[in-house]
Structure 1
Amino acid sequence: MAKYFPILSLGLLLAATACERPAPPTFTEEGAPYDLTAYLQQQKQRLVAEQPMVLKSVTTENQPTETVQTDKVDWEDELAVFEQTDLNRPALQEYYVKQETVLENGSVAIEYRKTENSEPLVQYLRLVISPDKQLQQLNAVLQDENPLFFSRRKVRLDADPVTGNISSYNVQGVQKLIFSDSLHYAVDANL
């Protein structure tokens, strides 16, 4: 019996692996319409190196708008909300219906809308990609909700049509903790 143990073990191993579900396909560069994370990483590196002057306005509920012009910006933190909108991970694809439309100027608008019974962070995403594969605009709605906290943000990022570099961005949001009032805010930045 001992001499058949390795063969029996190999047979059981093969049988067990044959019953496993195959791994889901991953997106290749050809399968993803646009690699938003790579774009944002490249932009962060460029912005850190160049340190452009930024005109930034912040408005919170019942407070006057504060505007500052600075070249001291934490780009990792500043662009983090836009990284949350990247939907090119295979695990997220089942939560969205995707639609592509060719615009009059040859650009492509790619829209992701959440499916009816799903509750992902990104509720809606629209990317406008130029004919030469440069990001022109990003619009998204993000919503996070649990018994203690509610947050909803509308974000927009615009890129220069010639260079593809970020030219402006905007975040409008509301957040509420269970035992506090809602806080509405807006951030506008122009480079």
Structure 2
Amino acid sequence: MRNYSLVLFGSMILALAACEQPVPRSTAATDDYYNVTAYIQYEKQRLQRKQPAVLKSVTTENEPTETIQADSLNWDEELTVFEEADISKPTLREYYTREEQELPDGSTAVTYTKKKDAEAPVEYLHLQLSPEKKVQYLEATLLDQNLLFYSKRKAILEASPQSGRLESYKVEGVQKLIFGDSLHYSIQANL
């Protein structure tokens, strides 16, 4: 009977151990990739509430530059291109090489470059983060290409070094349909 009790007790211990929560994996791999989408969504919400005055210039090929001062913009549309530059998703990580450099002011420069033959829309992403890990500068090159359409965009965002709040952004690009002319454009906005 005593052996039966020991076997029963041992089985209960093993059963409890099997139900124990697994130890979470190290987050070091995820720390290597800044969540650009979370940052941009936060800025979209903040700017949508605040609606700061914006000086915005748009230039298209063969047209004069149009500059407007806007008191209200649809920030969801304005900043979408920067969300597209997010490579923190686990399925994209294997497509990039990562280089990190600590700068003299204590900030960190991180550059992600797409590996040759990788199927990913972001060719290049460069971030400069403050010592508190707030965005100071973001630059991305995005490429979208298929049989009918070609689009290449360079997007640059500058933020306050202290707060990480967006101060200006610029998007330069080219679009081309296979049976049409290419269109070069540039958008510059300062808050």
- Whether the TM-score (by the shorter chain) exceeds 0.5 is yes
| Alignment map for 1:47-66 (pairs within 5 Å) | 47-66=47-66
Task: Give the aligned length.
Answer: 167
Tell me the equivalent position of 2:15: none
Q: Does the 8 Å contact 2:106/2:131 carry over to 1?
A: yes
Tell me the equivalent position of 2:77: 77
CA distance in 2: counterparts of 1:164 and 1:137, whole angstroms: 9
Q: Does the 8 Å contact 1:61/1:185 carry over to 2?
A: yes
Tell me the equivalent position of 1:103: 103
CA distance in 1: counterparts of 2:186 and 2:163, whole angstroms: 27
Tell me the equivalent position of 1:117: 117
**Deviation, structure 1 residue 35:** 2.0
Identical residues among aligned pairs (%) = 51
Q: Does the 8 Å contact 2:30/2:88 carry over to 1?
A: no
Instruction: After superposition, give the CA deviation of every residue in 1:121-145 in whole Å (9 maximum; x if it has no partner).
Output: 0000001000011100000100111
Instruction: After superposition, give the CA deviation of every residue in 1:61-113 in whole Å (9 maximum; x if it has no partner).
Output: 00000000011200001000000011110100111101111111111111100
Could you tell me which runs of 5 or more consecutive residues in structure 1 were left unpaired when the two chains were aligned: 1-24
Alpha-carbon RMSD across the aligned residues, in angstroms, is: 1.7
**Which of 1 and 2 has greater Rg?**
2
Farther-moved stretch of structure 1 (34-43 vs 63-72): 34-43
Q: Does the 8 Å contact 2:136/2:164 carry over to 1?
A: yes
| Alignment map for 1:39-50 (pairs within 5 Å) | 39-50=39-50
Tell me the equivalent position of 1:144: 144
Could you state the TM-score of these two structures normalised by the residue count of structure 1? Answer: 0.83
Tell me the equivalent position of 1:14: none
Could you tell me which runs of 5 or more consecutive residues in structure 2 were left unpaired when the two chains were aligned: 1-24
CA distance in 2: counterparts of 1:29 and 1:71, whole angstroms: 41
Could you state the TM-score of these two structures normalised by the residue count of structure 2? Answer: 0.83
**Deviation, structure 1 residue 29:** 9.1
CA distance in 2: counterparts of 1:176 and 1:27, whole angstroms: 41
What secondary structure does 1:37 align onto?
helix
